[in-house]
Structures are given as structure tokens and as C-alpha cells.
């Protein structure tokens, strides 16, 4: 794994945005694997800026997101579909019909997982996959557990994740209990993976991902199995 130490959050965001721009320059119809959370917001801002400056176009691109809360849809301000529309898609020239986020409102959620896996397969996986990381070393919503699931699946969110994600909700209890997430197989199918981590609170999780044993209790450690992963962090990752 390549580790890039950025001076600060802004440099981290520029660095990630430039990697996505490079991907689109070499393949204008690239499939972008995208992530939600606070960490990639700066990257999206930089990409919007580059689009406005005429440096990049997303017109032929497709995107596929990692996850969505079960029970939340586009009309809910806390859904990941809404996050992506507001933070990114509505500000660039991507055709929103080519942007995919699991449908958290599908009444048959198991069927939704299968549909999403088939869709991912049809798209050929992501050319570049952006990832955040949880303080518990989750990626997407693949939470630490005795077993990890390869396919897209429904996951019960850990208390620590619901707490971390409660920022925009009334309380941690108001955060949905379940989410749909791309599994480890989907994530590892991406041609290139860029993991972003900002702030000292993520140091331990990133250290486990980069130097730790491959362990289902630190899902990000499975990234060691992939041969094209870049970690960009704005702290020193001393071994």
C-alpha cells in the first residue's frame, strides 16, 4: 500500500481529487466508486471547482456508491442519495441517471442487495474507489465482526458507528439501525482504491489497515490483499 502524508485536510482533498481527475482524463467514461461521510466532502468540493474551471467533465462518467441506510430515500436529508446529490452530483455535469446508490426504500431489501451486485457486475466494478474509514476500521458499512460478507448485504450498524454518524440526526437512536453496503468483494474488485483519513482519531484504524494482521475485526486490513491502494492521511502514520 502506498501511504501519502498530506500536510492538512485541504492537501488531502486536492490529492484525492487529482487522482479522480487523472482517472477521467485517461478514461472519460470511468466508473467512479464514491463514498459519503465528512472526509470526502473536500474532495467533492475540489472536483466541483475543477469542473467549473473546465478542467474535467463527468458527462460520460458513471458512479456507484458504497452504501445507504435502510429506510431512507432521496427525500430524507440524511440519506446518502441526498448527500451525494447535494454535495456532488447536482454541481457537476454527470447524468444523474448514471449515478447509483442502493435504494434504501426497496421493501424487499434482500432483492435490492442482489440487484446492486448485478449492477456492479454490469458496470465492471469501479475504475477508482474512494473510501473513508471508521474509527473501528470499517470500510463502507462493513463493520468489525467474526465473519465478513463478500456480496452486497444488509448490515446491523454498530453502536460506535451510529454514534459517529449521529451528527446530523436528533440522536444516535435516530440513526437507522440497518444499512445496505457493498461487501468486501465489491470493494476489492475496484481497479484502484484511494482511502482517505483525516484527523488523529483515525490513526489507529489506518495503522491496522496498513500494518495490522488481516482481521475481520478490522475490515480495512483486507485492503492489503489489493495491489493498487493509496492511503492519503493528514497525520503521521508512525509504525
Q: Which positions touch ligand PGA (CB under 6 A)?
A: 37-39, 132-134
Mark whether 127 is an active-site residue. no
**Residue 178: exposure state from Cβ atoms within 10 A (0-12, 13-18, ≥19):** middle
Which one of 67, 68, 103, 234 is the catalytic residue? 67
The nearest distance, CB 42 to ligand PGA, in angstroms, is 10
State which residue, 42 or 125, has the beta carbon closest to ligand PGA: 42
Place of cell 486536492: 14
Q: Among residues 65, 112, 117, 136, which one is catalytic?
A: 136
Smallest separation (angstroms) from ligand PGA to the CB of 9:
11
Nearer to ligand PGA, 118 or 201 (CB): 201
Q: For ligand PGA, give the closer residue by CB, 23 or 43.
A: 43
Give per-residue burial for 125-156: e unless 16+ CB within 10 Å, then b.
bbbbbbbbbbbbbbbbbbbbeeebeeebbbbe
Among residues 103, 138, 142, 234, the one annotated as catalytic is 138
Q: Which residue has the cell 454541481?
A: 91
Smallest separation (angstroms) from ligand PGA to the CB of 55: 25
Q: Which is nearer to ligand PGA, 83 or 98 (CB)?
A: 83
* Catalytic option among 68, 143, 153, 234: 143
The count of C-alpha atoms lying within 13 angstroms of the C-alpha of 169, restricted to the half-sphere facing its C-beta, is: 18
In the complex, residue closest to ligand PGA by CB: 37
Q: Active site includes 136?
A: yes
Q: Where are the beta strands (DSSP E) in the chain?
A: 2-5, 31-34, 62-65, 67-69, 99-100, 128-131, 153-156, 178-181, 193-197, 229-233
Whether 67 is catalytic: yes
The CA distance from 204 to 107, in Å, is 38
Residues catalogued as catalytic = 67, 136, 138, 143
Amino acid at each position: 500500500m502506498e501511504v501519502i502524508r498530506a500536510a492538512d485536510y485541504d492537501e488531502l482533498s486536492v490529492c484525492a481529487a487529482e487522482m479522480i481527475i487523472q482517472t477521467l482524463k485517461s478514461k472519460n467514461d470511468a466508473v467512479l466508486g464514491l463514498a459519503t461521510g465528512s472526509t470526502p466532502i473536500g474532495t467533492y468540493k475540489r472536483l466541483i471547482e475543477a469542473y467549473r474551471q473546465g478542467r474535467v467533465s463527468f458527462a460520460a462518467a458513471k458512479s456507484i456508491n458504497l452504501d445507504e441506510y435502510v429506510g431512507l430515500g432521496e427525500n430524507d436529508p440524511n440519506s446518502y442519495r441526498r448527500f451525494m446529490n447535494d454535495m456532488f452530483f447536482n454541481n457537476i455535469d454527470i447524468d444523474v441517471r448514471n449515478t447509483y446508490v442502493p435504494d434504501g426504500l426497496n421493501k424487499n431489501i434482500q432483492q435490492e442487495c442482489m440487484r446492486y451486485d448485478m449492477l456492479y457486475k454490469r458496470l465492471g466494478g469501479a475504475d477508482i474507489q474512494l473510501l473513508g474509514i471508521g474509527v473501528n476500521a470499517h470500510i463502507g458499512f462493513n463493520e468489525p465482526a467474526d465473519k465478513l460478507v463478500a456480496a452486497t448485504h444488509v448490515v446491523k450498524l454498530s453502536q460506535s458507528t451510529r454514534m459517529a454518524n449521529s451528527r446530523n440526526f436528533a440522536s444516535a437512536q435516530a440513526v437507522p439501525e440497518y444499512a445496505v453496503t457493498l461487501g468486501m468483494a465489491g470493494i476489492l474488485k475496484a481497479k484502484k482504491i484511494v482511502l482517505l483519513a483525516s484527523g488523529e482519531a483515525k490513526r489507529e484504524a489506518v495503522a491496522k489497515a496498513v500494518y495490522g494482521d488481516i482481521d475481520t475485526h478490522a475490515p480495512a486490513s483486507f485492503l492489503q490483499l489489493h495491489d493498487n491502494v493509496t492511503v492519503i492521511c493528514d497525520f503521521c502514520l508512525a509504525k
